[in-house]
Structures are given as structure tokens and as C-alpha cells.
Amino acid sequence: MVVAAQTTRRGSLPTLVIAAVTAGLMGEGFRAVGGWAAAERAIQASRAELVGPLVLAFVALVFLAERRWPSEARPALARGHVQDGLYTLFYAVVVVPLIVLSGVGFAELLRHALGWSVLPHYTAVPKWVVVTLAVVAIDGLNWLAHLANHRVALLWRLHAVHHSQEEMSVLTSFRAHPLVHASFLITVLPTFVLVANGTVPGIVFTAYACYAALGHANLAWDFGPFRRILVSPAYHRLHHAATGRNDINLGNVLTLWDVLAHRAVMPTPGSARLPVPTGIAGRPIPVEQDRAGRGHLVTLAAQLWEPFQGQRARAADPIG
């Protein structure tokens, strides 16, 4: 016999700790860049790279392609699309400054603690080789941080906001809790180590952001013979399947890391036209599709607040 399950509440202290660490890194970053004027210039430069005209033009083209070749047909103004559009605006206004300042703060801490790890300048190494190595390393560290977001409970509470989308589109790439970016700060390491050999051009980060967005697109594309090398919309959609912490197909650009970790599930030819339901089973996070009468702004606030709330846990005690 089993006693009826009881609901308990766990505190949200881990989320508050992540918020405090992020705030501390942002403060250090603000100090390192040298005040408001310099910080504003750095933020505007990153906005141009991560959500500037080129990125928005690419997103618009992919969104039009979704109307023509959808994996799952739905209206252009589906509630999920509108919500992700709101997240895109939130990303540009709020999240980019957080990424910039916390990234600079983290790099400053690395400079003090691991300054010896910066490689010397190698004149014999072409710039394109350095950039390629940096991007591949960044992609690998993105994969590692993404895996941690699925395997570590306190990080999953934040990352689950991204996975709550039940009507994926190219805009879903921007749906993320701002604090989740603290776990991706390790991607600063490659550019830190290789800085003496030149910086990575901004256009490279723009291209990377565009490709990461493409993986979320509502498109029945699997990239044919390249499906085993490059992350496609069909490949990444399997990662967003409505099964909870789905820690397969974690890659952003390359499938290599999933393959090496035995976490790659390749879409079979033709399977991309059979759309996989996305989201999180049981809807533990408020979603815009439940039509509970909440407006999009209220839903956004509820989704961002959810990780700060006590976590509900089910407990059942067997009785002999």
C-alpha cells in the first residue's frame, strides 16, 4: 500500500545564489570597462553582433521559410511565436547587457587567476586557424554547459524556461532565462587563451548566433548528407521533445560532441516531416498555450519568476 503523495516546497536559495554571482560579475565587468560610457559602447557593439540587423534579417528570412516549408503548420501569430517575439525584445534590451558585463567580469577574474594560461603570439599561425580553433572550442564548451543545464537540477530550473516552448520557431533561440547565461560563461575561455593571437571578428559571433537560431526553426530540414556533421532543425527538435530533461542532441553547430558522448540521435530520412511534440511534459512552467487568460507580459513574468519559487516535489512513502 502507498500513502497518497504529498507536496513539499524546496527553497529557491540556489537561484538567489546564481543571481548574486551574476550581479557580482556584472559589477566587476562594469568596473573593468571603465564606467557608463565604455559599458554602453561595449553593449551596443554586442547588440550589433548578437541581435543586430544581420541577425534580425536572417531570423526574418527563416521565419518566412517556416511559412513555406513548416515542420508543423501553424499561424504566423501563434501564441508561442508572439511570446518568443517578446523574449527577443527582452533579450536585446535586458539580456545582452547582462551577457556583456558578466562576461567581461568573468574574463577579468580569469586574468587575475589564470593570466599564465594565455598562449603567446605565434606568427606562423594564420589568423583563420586561430579563429577556427576558437569557434570549435566555444562550440564544445557550449555543449558542455548545455549538458550541465540538463544534468544539474539548479541549472535545469533556469534552462527549463527555454524548453517550455510548445510551438517552436526560429525565435525560440532567444527564449531563455537571463540567469542561465551564467552557466555558459566558460565559453569565454577560448578567446581568453587565444587573445594574444588576435580577437575573433564580430561577424563570426553573428554567424554563430544565426546558426544557433536556425536549429530551433520550425522547418522539416535535416541537411541530407551533412546531417551527421551539422546540427539541423530536425536534429535539434528531438532535443526539445516533450519528455523533460532530454539530454540528447545538445549541440549548437557541430554534432561532434554528441557523437563523442554517445548522445546523438540522428533523424532518419523523412522523419523530419513527422513533427515531434515539444515542450515539457506536465507543464511545470506557466506556458502561453494553456489559454488561462493571462496576457503575454504576465506569462513572461511568471516564466521568469518560476525558478525563484520553491520547487515542488512529490514524495510517496511505502507502507508494508
Residue-wise pLDDT for 304-313, tens only, equals: 999 998 755 4
- Give the Cα separation of 213 and 91 in Å (integer): 13
pTM for the predicted model, two decimal places: 0.90
Q: Is 1 part of a structural domain of the chain?
A: no
Range of 158's domain? 14-306
> DSSP labels for 173-211?
GG---GGGGGGGGGGHHHHHHTGGG-PPPHHHHHHHHHH
Q: What is the DSSP letter of 289?
A: G
Q: Is 148 part of a structural domain of the chain?
A: yes
Q: Is 48 part of a structural domain of the chain?
A: yes
Q: Is 100 part of a structural domain of the chain?
A: yes
Residue 10 has pLDDT above 70, yes or no: no
Question: Which one, of 263, 257, 267, 259, lies nearest residue 232 by Cα?
Answer: 267
- Give the Cα separation of 215 and 120 in Å (integer): 36
Angstrom CA distances, 270 to 44, 212, 223, 238, stand at 42, 23, 11, 14
Residue 244 has pLDDT above 90, yes or no: no
Contact indicator for 213, 233 with CB cutoff of 8 Å: no
- The set of cell numbers assigned to 116 is 599564465
Q: Is 200 part of a structural domain of the chain?
A: yes
Return the SS3 of 162. Answer: helix
Q: Is 316 part of a structural domain of the chain?
A: no
CB atoms within 10 A of CB 304: 17
Q: Is 275 part of a structural domain of the chain?
A: yes
- Give the Cα separation of 149 and 153 in Å (integer): 8
- Give the Cα separation of 298 and 164 in Å (integer): 15
Query: What one-letter code names the amino acid at 280?
Result: I
Provide mean pLDDT across the span 239-263: 93
Show Cβ contacts of residue 33 under 8 Å, excluding neighbours closer than 6 positions: 39, 42, 101, 104
Contact indicator for 210, 167 with CB cutoff of 8 Å: no
Orientation of helix 153-163 relative to helix 127-151, angle to 10°:
100
Provide mean pLDDT across the span 212-234: 94
Provide mean pLDDT across the span 286-311: 88
Provide mean pLDDT across the span 160-172: 96
Split into its structural domains, the chain has a count of: 1
Residue 243 has pLDDT above 90, yes or no: no
Q: Is 319 part of a structural domain of the chain?
A: no
Q: How confident is the model at residue 270 (pLDDT cuts 50, 70, 90)?
A: low
Residue-wise pLDDT for 56-66, tens only, equals: 999 999 999 99
- Give the Cα separation of 71 and 48 in Å (integer): 30
- Give the Cα separation of 192 and 204 in Å (integer): 16
Whole-number mean pLDDT of the chain?
90
